[in-house]
Amino acid sequence: MKRIHIDREACKACKNCIIACMLQHSEAESIHNLNLTDINNQARNKIVLNNNDEVVPLFCRHCRDSECLTACMSGALSRDKKTGHIICNQKQCVGCWMCVMSCSYGMVMPEKASQERTLKCDMCGDDQPQCVENCPTGAIKVIELDMKEKVIK
Ligand code: SF4
Ligand code: SF4
Ligand code: SF4
């Protein structure tokens, strides 16, 4: 299973990964016409500061024992059998926020525009994750794990 691996030390908080995620899920053709103030253009990742003012990149881990999946009562969240990724079917989401409250990393979030559904990382449809593609420092990488979460590549 592909997963994003984070090297916190390498992150320079440029937020290229945030912009790349917004662009990937927007209707904009390029960064040049991406409206950063449009709440419909919402990133699925976060760059935050911890209590020591250190930069912490936050990305969905597509956990093996995923709390969000366990908490979802509507079936909106599911694990893709082929890729192993936790995917949100927004049409089935009833906006109960159980998954939002369950994820220790804050990686399922209310959709800002509707406030009725959640949204989360979809690994860019299992194509090339755009956050990784656009990180200039190599702070985030795609690694391949087996289902026992052992790094095999
Ligand atoms: S949203 Fe949170 S709990 Fe769910 S798979 Fe991602 S990191 Fe794990
Ligand atoms: S893999 Fe894609 S959806 Fe997930 S955080 Fe990166 S850009 Fe966003
Ligand atoms: S693109 Fe890379 S260096 Fe920039 S904020 Fe994101 S993880 Fe950090």
pLDDT digits (tens, 9 = 90+) for 20-74: 999 999 999 999 999 999 999 999 999 999 999 999 999 999 999 999 999 999 9
Can you give the pTM of this predicted structure? Answer: 0.92
* CA 1 / ligand 1 centre spacing (Å): 15
Report d(CA 115, CA 118) in Å as an integer. Answer: 8
pLDDT for 83-135, tens place per residue? 999 999 999 999 999 999 999 999 999 999 999 999 999 999 987 999 999 99
Substitution site in 3, 56, 61 for ligand 1 pocket (most atoms within 8 Å of beta carbon) = 61
Residue with token string 């990180």:
135
- Please check whether residue 100 is in contact with residue 120, taking contact to mean a CB–CB distance below 8 angstroms: no
In the numeric block, which tokens belong to residue 116?
A: 């009725």
Decide: residue 42, CB within 10 A, 0-12 exposed, 13-18 middle, 19+ buried. middle
